[in-house]
């Protein structure tokens, strides 16, 4: 197994790249969550024009290629608007966040629809505003449905951060590519060994993300419990209030 262990200097460079990867992921996640919530709720708005705008965003962000969106954000926009590329990290995070928001919005929409209508009707009878119903009644119950697919989506965004290396951002993937380039006077490490180490790093980060979401799921279950399945009514038994 010794041949799979890299030198401390090489690990240091990979960890520097990992730091950039995690920053891009953190920015993309934060933006993606906000967009998911805003447009997921907007998809259920009573106003047709609000639903229309949300639908356009969702279909656009899900339909466009992530790499095309990334190049547009990091290269095309600065050229078209005459802006300096001061932070490729921010631009890369925004591109991935826009992509995440489209998928996340559908997760939020589906989760809200899964909440029994009786809960909404009860909150209306208490004279809660729309924002209060969403914050205190609907979203807490919808979290049980939101968390599992949102965790999977976050891991997919982690994998997507590898694309930022194509625009020159020194993430984990670009650090791998630089280490794989032969250098005079430096012993070359087999490509397979480099890729194996980076594969393990991505896997460990993905498992950490998965563990955090599972922890959140358990806390949600403890707070709100699990909805019991609805038992079918036996034939010949009348429900309360039925009949005259």
Q: For 74-121, how does the pLDDT look when each residue is reduced to its tens digit (9 = 90+)?
A: 888 888 877 676 678 888 999 999 999 999 999 999 999 888 877 777
Average pLDDT over the chain, rounded to an integer:
84
| 236 domain-assigned | no
Confidence of residue 29 (pLDDT cuts 50, 70, 90): very high
d(CA 54, CA 49): 9
Instruction: Tell me what pLDDT residue 85 has.
Output: 67
Instruction: Tell me what pLDDT residue 119 has.
Output: 73
Supply the range of the domain harboring residue 159: 9-181+188-224
Number of domains the chain contains: 1
Model confidence over 114-156: pLDDT tens digits?
Answer: 888 777 777 767 777 778 888 888 888 889 899 999 999 999 9
| 51 domain-assigned | yes
Q: 116-125, 160-169, 212-221 — which is least confidently predicted?
A: 116-125
pTM score, two decimals?
0.84
| 193 domain-assigned | yes
């Amino acid at each position: 197994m010794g041949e799979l262990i890299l030198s401390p200097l090489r690990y240091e460079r990979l960890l520097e790249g990992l730091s950039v990867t995690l920053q891009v992921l953190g920015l993309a996640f934060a933006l993606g969550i906000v967009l998911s919530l805003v447009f997921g709720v907007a998809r259920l708005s009573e106003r047709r024009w609000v639903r229309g705008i949300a639908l356009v965003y969702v279909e656009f962000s899900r339909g466009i290629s992530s790499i095309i969106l990334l190049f547009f954000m990091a290269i095309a926009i600065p050229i078209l608007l005459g802006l300096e590329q001061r932070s490729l990290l921010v631009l890369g995070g925004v591109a991935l966040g826009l992509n995440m928001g489209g998928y996340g919005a559908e997760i939020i929409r589906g989760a809200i629809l899964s909440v029994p209508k009786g809960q909404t009707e009860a909150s209306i009878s208490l004279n809660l505003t729309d924002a209060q119903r969403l914050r205190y009644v609907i979203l807490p119950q919808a979290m049980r449905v939101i968390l599992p697919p949102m965790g999977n989506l976050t891991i997919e965004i982690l994998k997507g951060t590898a694309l930022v290396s194509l625009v020159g951002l020194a993430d984990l993937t670009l650090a791998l590519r630089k280490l794989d380039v032969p250098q005079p006077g430096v012993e070359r490490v087999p490509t397979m060994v480099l890729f194996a180490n980076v594969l393990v790093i991505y896997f460990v980060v993905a498992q950490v993300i998965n563990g955090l979401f599972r922890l959140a799921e358990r806390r949600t279950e403890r707070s709100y419990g699990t909805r019991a399945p609805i038992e079918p009514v036996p034939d010949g038994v009348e429900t309360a209030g039925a009949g005259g």
